[in-house]
Amino acid sequence: MIPLLLQLPSALAQEDIRPLKPAMEVHDPVAIGPWLVAALALMALAYGAWRWWRRPELSPEERLRRGLASAARAFDEGRTGDGVDEALDAIRGFLHDTTDIPARYLTDDELLGRLQGRLPDALHQQIEATLTAWDRLRFAGADLDEAAVPAWIDPLVEALAAPDEDPADAHTNAQPRAAS
């Protein structure tokens, strides 16, 4: 076998060497740390907003219980006026959300008149006595020896609960109940 060497003149060989390029301008390095921290903070903020937006809505009874717990703390701390206000707000909110009574916008007398046929007489009298005592405390400066969350809350919730109520018959104030 005889090696065959071919020598061909190439046009590429002449253009193989090119002139040097000018030196590149080197910029200061970009600090990636602050950008990374900002991106992580933005992601954490977006996640927190998403979790807050998707939180389950409290049922009217849960809002009532939370409001009464806050009122009980105020009573225990000796802030009787604040406790009465918080308890009244919670009770009126519960009545407003679960019945067709616009309880947030009525006076005590109007509210008691609208509750008259819906509750047992004994419970109605207890509510009336408590609201009267609280009004004396709030508006006349009367001193209540034992201001506390009333014991008639559970009977009130039970009296107003209607588990077999048809959703089509729901009133305008009713809020949808949270799934258990």
Q: What is the pLDDT of residue 15?
A: 64
Q: What is the pLDDT of residue 145?
A: 57
Q: Which strand (E) or helix (H) includes residue 19?
A: none
Could you tell me which residues come within 8 angstroms of residue 25 by beta carbon, excluding any fewer than 6 positions away?
none
Q: What is the pLDDT of residue 124?
A: 83
Q: What is the pLDDT of residue 142?
A: 65
Q: What is the pLDDT of residue 30?
A: 76
- Taking the C-alpha atoms of residue 82 and residue 172, their distance in angstroms, rounded to an integer, is 30
Q: Which residues of the chain have pLDDT under 50?
A: 163-171, 176-180
Reading the block at residue 16, the tokens are 């193989």
Q: What is the pLDDT of residue 46?
A: 95
* 16 C-beta neighbours (distance < 10 Å), count: 8
Q: What is the pLDDT of residue 180?
A: 42
* 33 C-beta neighbours (distance < 10 Å), count: 8
Could you tell me which residues come within 8 angstroms of residue 95 by beta carbon, excluding any fewer than 6 positions away?
101, 103, 111, 115, 160
Q: What is the pLDDT of residue 1?
A: 57
